[in-house]
Amino acid sequence: MKVSTRSPRFNIIANAYKSAVASGNINTANFLTFLRMLFSPAIVLLILYGGRLPYDVPHNLAAGLLFILAALTDKADGCFARRNNTITELGKFLDPLADKILMLPVMGTLAYLGKIPLWVFILVTLRELSVSLLRVIAARKGISFPASWSGKIKMFSQVVVVSTIIIFPEYSNSLTVRILVYVMAAITLYSWVDYALRGKLEVFQKTQRAER
């Protein structure tokens, strides 16, 4: 009789992996979403490094290119999910979460270095936390709350501003970059209001009608 050498912990992990694959949660789109989360600490370390990398590559250029690559996965995972018909509830939940895990630590690092005004970082953080809380409430009530066009424009504006400041830190206090920062902050505030109104209509009022 063959005795299994696998530990109970290994069997639990293996069974969990098989269940995830069977449910469709393990796919290319969700892999790209997870990858976007993993890029964030590497980008922060590159920004703080302050030196040059092998082959004399500037750390800020490497950080900026990696940040842009990570941001592009936001578009790529959606394209893969729609093209392969692999849109999952896990993907819908993780996609906006991955954006926050990518953006907030990087923007917080830039605020710490004085490249972005602290009040802008606080505004972005409060907006992201409140929208995340709204999504959690919606999920607990069985309500889908996907990203809106205002959220996508907000993300695009943040990517433009943050990547510009990472790659060209010496211009962070220039008039052009400051205008870009203020425009991004205004778009973020508008998106916050838009999501708050959507939440009131689609989550809270809908729930109240259903309970009557």
Q: Could you give the domains of the chain?
A: 24-211 (1.20.120.1760)
**CA nearest neighbour of 29 among 78, 102, 72, 62:** 78
Q: Among residues of the chain, what percentage have pLDDT more than 70? A: 75
pLDDT, greater one: 209 or 148: 148
Contact 124, 104 (CB under 8 A): yes
User: Nearest 5 degrees, angle CA 68-CA 194-CA 189?
Assistant: 60
Taking only the tens place, the pLDDT of each residue in 107-142 is 999 999 999 999 999 999 999 999 888 888 887 888
The average confidence (pLDDT) of the chain is 81
Taking only the tens place, the pLDDT of each residue in 52-72 is 788 888 999 999 999 999 988
pLDDT, greater one: 117 or 100: 117
Average pLDDT (100-112) is 94
* pLDDT value at residue 143: 78
- Which of 24-38, 157-171, 172-186 has the lowest average pLDDT? 24-38
Q: Is 130 exposed, middle or buried (0-12, 13-18, 19+ CB in 10 A)?
A: middle
* pLDDT value at residue 182: 97
pLDDT of residue 193 exceeding 70: yes
Q: Which residues of 69-82 are buried (b: 16+ CB within 10 A; e: fewer)?
A: ebbebbebbbebbe
Q: How confident is the model at residue 178 (pLDDT cuts 50, 70, 90)?
A: very high
pTM check: above 0.85 = no
Contact 203, 145 (CB under 8 A): yes
The full length of the chain comes to: 212
Q: Among residues of the chain, what percentage have pLDDT more than 90? A: 44
Rounded distance between C-alpha atoms, residue 131 and residue 152, angstroms: 13
